[in-house]
Structure 1
Amino acid sequence: MADSSTTTLPAAPAAAQTAAMPAWKRLYRRIERAIVPALVLIGWELFSRSGVLPPALLPAPSQVLVAWADWVIGTDGNTQTYSGHWIFDVAASAGRVFAGFALAAALGIGLGMAIGWSRTIEKLIEPLLQVLRPVPPVSWIPLAIIWFGIANKPAIFLVFLGSFFPVLLSTIHGVKTCDRNLLRAGAMAGGTPRLLLRHIVFPAALPSIFSGLRIAIGSAWMLTVTAEMVAVKSGVGYVLWDSYYFLRYDIVIAAMASIGLLGYCSDLLIKLLSARVLRWQRGSTLQSKEG
């Protein structure tokens, strides 16, 4: 009979462990993500009010917040023509981002699967892609304006270029690193190449694909802002550049903060989608840790 004194008790649930913590430690866990940003904002506020630089050149966070609030909901009209137009500027930029990003994701995943799976397609297409990949997307701006004019199309084109290669390369990597034993097992079970691609290769490549999508969405926001500074007359990037000409650096910083917030939210959406789609990966990871 096994000695009961040596019986291993199951680990306490995470919620129970958290409840057993001291109050100060629970509070710290809730606010630890905000500590460094809060310190940066406090230091920035103190430096701006110290008089080392003129307030117009480095607006304090409190001044930026006032301008941002008026831009969003039109509190007092201090941002003039921008007052209350934040949602329209964000909608214009977001539409360009997600149009270019969707095109890049569809083509990048499809072409990446083909290149990673077929040596023939890889030999035919990859040399051209490797020549185009080092060319900075911003260098396409003159051609984009000539081809598409001053409107949404050049911005969408630039977003597509900036998002396409991260998705493509991540997909190729995911396909090429698929476990060959799984492919052999699927082939032995009578799987055709199409079935192997659909039921083995594509699911195995999904973690890499989502990594590429997260990189691509950040590039998409950077490129749409760049395009709006040059080739478009609306959006957050246009507000940033236009307010610079009028020396409204509080609006410039508010626009930069808006871009960062929008990029963070976009990345969070992809992370949530990834967690939902890749539930099987999380379960296998937990099993490997327990083993």
Structure 2
Amino acid sequence: MTTADATSAQLVPDRPGTVVEAPASDLPTVRREGRATQWRRRGIRLTSVLAAVGLWQLLTANDIRLFLRFDTLPTVTEVAATLVNRIGGQEYWLDLGQSLIRILTGFGLAAAVGVVTGIMLGRSKVFSDVFGPLTELARPIPAIAMVPVAILLFPTDEAGIVFITFLAAYFPIMVSTRHAVRALPTIWEDSVRTLGGNRWDVLGRVVLPGILPGLFGGLSVGMGVAWICVISAEMISGQLGVGYRTWQAYTVLNYADVFVGIITIGVLGFATAAAVELIGRRATRWLPRGEENGR
């Protein structure tokens, strides 16, 4: 390669973990191929969803009864009509807003407390000896099993539901943070201290950046578990919310409304998990993304 070619050459991804040299003149072609691949994969994903919806309509509209009783389920068109009707009413949006307030409050508290206690468990032997056994004893208990305790402990159902949501998200976040802290190479901390850094420098320059990949993995898991528990808590003791309305629809045998609730829960869970993942990607953009870019 001549000096001019070397100047115009740039590194482009070849496969996960490797790069190859490509002339700068080829970069527009590489970008076009990358965009075409992305659109093709999006098309495949959309097709798979539409195929599942079409199969649902086929089985329910024709009252198919094999091993499963599809003839008892509402059709796609019935659910779609109910969804449009619900969206046009105020009650649907009140329920949606109430569930979002609960999940964001409980998850936000769990994220703050989970990160702090996870770092302390990973770095302080005294704190780990005192607080660690308590977390390990409480962690196997399903958060939804604490609903009776929340009803007795808190003066309002609203505070109890937020507490259940907090518990559900706290443990995945705390555990992932603790493991991420303990997995940090000690040479990183030694390097900062050798250069004259104190414990706050270690925390800000080593611990917090180093645990971000593991932390956001725990946040993603915590968000999913939190949705499971907030919906369950709303079904048991809620007054408003998507879970409460879905259970009410089931008690009056309004199955189309039940599926509206299920779909709403799925969309909310997907949107919030995607938001956590997007924030995580932004916060860890300095990491190599070769494998993820190929997904």
State the TM-score, normalizing by the size of structure 1.
0.86
The one of 23, 48, 51 aligned to 2:63 = 51
User: What is the CA distance between 1:149 and its match in structure 2?
Assistant: 4.6
Q: What letter is aligned with 1:114? A: M
The CA distance in 1 between the partners of 2:55 and 2:33, in whole Å, is 35
The CA distance in 2 between the partners of 1:4 and 1:96, in whole Å, is 60
Match of 1:72 in 2: 87
Structure 1, residues 93-115: CA drift from partner, whole Å, max 9, x if none? 00000111011111100000111
Give runs of aligned pairs for residues 101-250 of structure 1, distance below 5 A: 101-149=107-155, 151-250=157-256
Match of 1:271 in 2: 277
- 2:52 maps to 1:40: yes
The CA distance in 2 between the partners of 1:188 and 1:221, in whole Å, is 45
The CA distance in 2 between the partners of 1:185 and 1:150, in whole Å, is 51
The CA distance in 1 between the partners of 2:238 and 2:222, in whole Å, is 21
Match of 2:18 in 1: none
The CA distance in 2 between the partners of 1:103 and 1:70, in whole Å, is 35
The CA distance in 1 between the partners of 2:276 and 2:5, in whole Å, is 48
* CA 1:27–1:269: 2 relative to 1, 3 Å: closer
Taking every aligned residue pair, what percent have the same amino acid on both sides?
Answer: 28
State the TM-score, normalizing by the size of structure 2.
0.85
User: What is the CA distance between 1:123 and its match in structure 2?
Assistant: 1.4
Structure 1, residues 151-200: CA drift from partner, whole Å, max 9, x if none? 21111010011000000001001111112221111110011122201211
The CA distance in 2 between the partners of 1:19 and 1:202, in whole Å, is 37
Contact (CA 8 Å) 1:57, 1:249: kept in 2 or not?
Answer: no
Structure 1, residues 213-255: CA drift from partner, whole Å, max 9, x if none? 1111111111110011011111000010000011111111110
The CA distance in 2 between the partners of 1:178 and 1:27, in whole Å, is 38
* CA 1:116–1:67: 2 relative to 1, 3 Å: same
The CA distance in 2 between the partners of 1:184 and 1:210, in whole Å, is 25
- 2:46 maps to 1:31: no
- The structure with the largest strand share of the pair is 2
Aligned length: 273
The CA distance in 2 between the partners of 1:109 and 1:242, in whole Å, is 37
User: What is the CA distance between 1:3 and its match in structure 2?
Assistant: 11
Query: Aligned with 1:52: secondary structure?
Result: coil
User: What is the CA distance between 1:16 and its match in structure 2?
Assistant: 2.5
Question: Gaps (5+ residues) in structure 2?
Answer: 10-20
The CA distance in 1 between the partners of 2:38 and 2:271, in whole Å, is 26
Q: What letter is aligned with 1:139? A: A
Contact (CA 8 Å) 2:62, 2:71: kept in 1 or not?
Answer: no
The CA distance in 2 between the partners of 1:29 and 1:210, in whole Å, is 25
Contact (CA 8 Å) 2:60, 2:71: kept in 1 or not?
Answer: no
* CA 1:146–1:45: 2 relative to 1, 3 Å: same
User: What is the CA distance between 1:10 and its match in structure 2?
Assistant: 3.0
The CA distance in 2 between the partners of 1:234 and 1:42, in whole Å, is 32
